[in-house]
Amino acid sequence: MGVPQSKEIAHGEEYAKNVMFLCNHNSCRSQMADGWMRHLRGDASVGCASAGIVGGTAVKPGAITVMKEVGVDISDFTSDAVADYDPADFDIVISCCGCGKKLDPEDKIAWKKREAFYDWALDDPPAIDPGDLSEYRRVRDEVKAKCIELLEKIESDELGNRENEGGCYGCLA
């Protein structure tokens, strides 16, 4: 298991908490979340990375465009696979797309057993955007709000607990 070198590594032991943003393909929602967390964390000791259940697809141009509109550059991000990372390196795991059930098989269940697991169940902009990037922008703004909320939970040490052993611990609605 080797950490991809495709983008600047922004997680590791030097951070008090490390967050993994997961999505099906790591091409849009998880990339936005990774970009926002890097942008918003400021002095907070929060590391982050993103990956897909299946990696290797390109980052969606629409995601790059709408993030650039708000001063967050994810143009050098690439789609990485969750298999390239070690769950033990992360304290918090965020499923951006409702893909938590895909983590149930034995080879992936460790991702759901971290300190906190949240499933944001964000809409998929490429699937619903009418062509004007409006859905990309809406989801971008929703992701920003959720990242701010997550940072507040981390800073106040209110990550929740594992109430639902069936999959989603302390879900953020």
| Sign of the CA dihedral running 76, 96, 39, 50 | negative
Smallest CA-to-CA distance from 23 within 141, 137, 119, 108 is with: 119
| Domain boundary assignment for the chain | 17-156
From residue 125, alpha-carbon distances to 56, 98, 140, 141 in Å are 19, 14, 9, 12
Torsion 148-109-173-154 (CA) sign = negative
Q: How far is the first Cα of the chain from the last one, in angstroms, to the nearest whole number?
A: 32
Count of positions (residues) in the chain: 173
Q: Which two tokens stand for residue 169?
A: 């611990």
Annotated catalytic residue within 28, 48, 97, 147: 97
pLDDT score for 7: 60
Active site residue 28: no
Token pair in block for residue 164 = 């639902």
Positions of the chain with pLDDT under 50:
1-6, 162-173
pLDDT at 5: 35
pLDDT of residue 99: 78
Q: Record the pTM.
A: 0.86
Residue 163: predicted pLDDT: 40
Residue pair 32/143 in contact (Cβ under 8 Å)? The answer is yes
CATH classification for the domain delimited by 17-156, as one of 3.40.50.2300, 3.40.190.10, 3.40.1710.10, 3.30.160.70:
3.40.50.2300
Pick the catalytic residue: 23, 48, 96, 147? 23
**What pLDDT score does 160 carry?**
65
Is 7 strand, coil or helix? coil
Active site residue 97: yes
- State residue 116's pLDDT score: 94
Crossing angle (nearest 10°) for helices 61-69 and 134-155: 70
> What was the pLDDT predicted at 149?
96
- Spatial separation of the C-alpha atoms in residues 63 and 123, rounded to whole Å: 13
